[in-house]
Chain A
């Protein structure tokens, strides 16, 4: 039973390019969350998705960032026109449906470096 899979593990982008981060939740998990960890800080909530639905995106920057969780395939966090301040570790977590327990499992993260 594979855990939460994130890829790539490391991503280097030049300023102005697009970054795509992928997350495959654990089997049986229908909720996906994205968190960002800036250097020397804790994890900050970005967005919560269910299949084909964005439930809560209150932590997402208003511009350049978007997320999706299609019916088929992984969840994607997309950052357009990256800037140096986007350099961070991006963690995805998944959980089972609400009411079935706090089975909150994190992936190993994608470390984005903008040069």
Chain B
């Protein structure tokens, strides 16, 4: 039962253009969403997050959009840079105040930014 899905295993964009990574979820209890970036042989690093009470959060070149009715979120990177090439994971949490913030991850999207 894949509660968080990233349907695109890979995405290739030109440097300077916009990268749009998509994520869908099925569990209505999820109330916090995160994007992680992962380089080979390293652990995931936190990129940006959004609470379910918002529909947009922006941090520099990175913007996350949340559409609760569609159970869909997306990560926009603009302008894309070659250093952004990595695997991007979408993750979701149903904050359980008695048990901490367990995350459910999507399968990841390999982003390649071509110079």
Contact = CB atoms under 8 A, between A and B. Distances in A.
Interface of A: 4, 6, 31, 33, 35, 40-45, 48, 50, 55-56, 91, 93, 95, 98-99, 102, 104-109, 111
A91 B102 contact: no
Interface in B82-115: 89, 91, 93, 97-108
A106 B43 contact: yes
Given A45-B102, A55-B100, A109-B41, 9 more contacts: A4-B43, A31-B101, A42-B89, A42-B106, A45-B103, A102-B34, A102-B49, A104-B34, A108-B42
Range class of the B interface residue count: 20 to 34
B44 interface: yes
A6 B103 CA distance: 19
B45 interface: yes
A43 B100 contact: no
B44 A33 contact: no
B100 A98 contact: yes
B102 A48 contact: yes
Contacts of A44: 105
Contact of A104 (B6, B41, B89, B101): B101
B4 to A, nearest CB: 8
A4 B42 CA distance: 12
A41 B105 CA distance: 10
Nearest to A103: B46
Contacts of A56: 99-100, 102
B65 interface: no
28 contacts: A4-B43, A6-B43, A35-B103, A41-B107, A42-B108, A43-B89, A43-B91, A43-B103, A44-B105, A45-B104, A48-B99, A48-B100, A56-B102, A91-B43, A93-B43, A95-B100, A95-B101, A98-B98, A102-B34, A102-B101, A104-B103, A105-B46, A106-B36, A106-B44, A106-B45, A107-B43, A108-B42, A109-B41
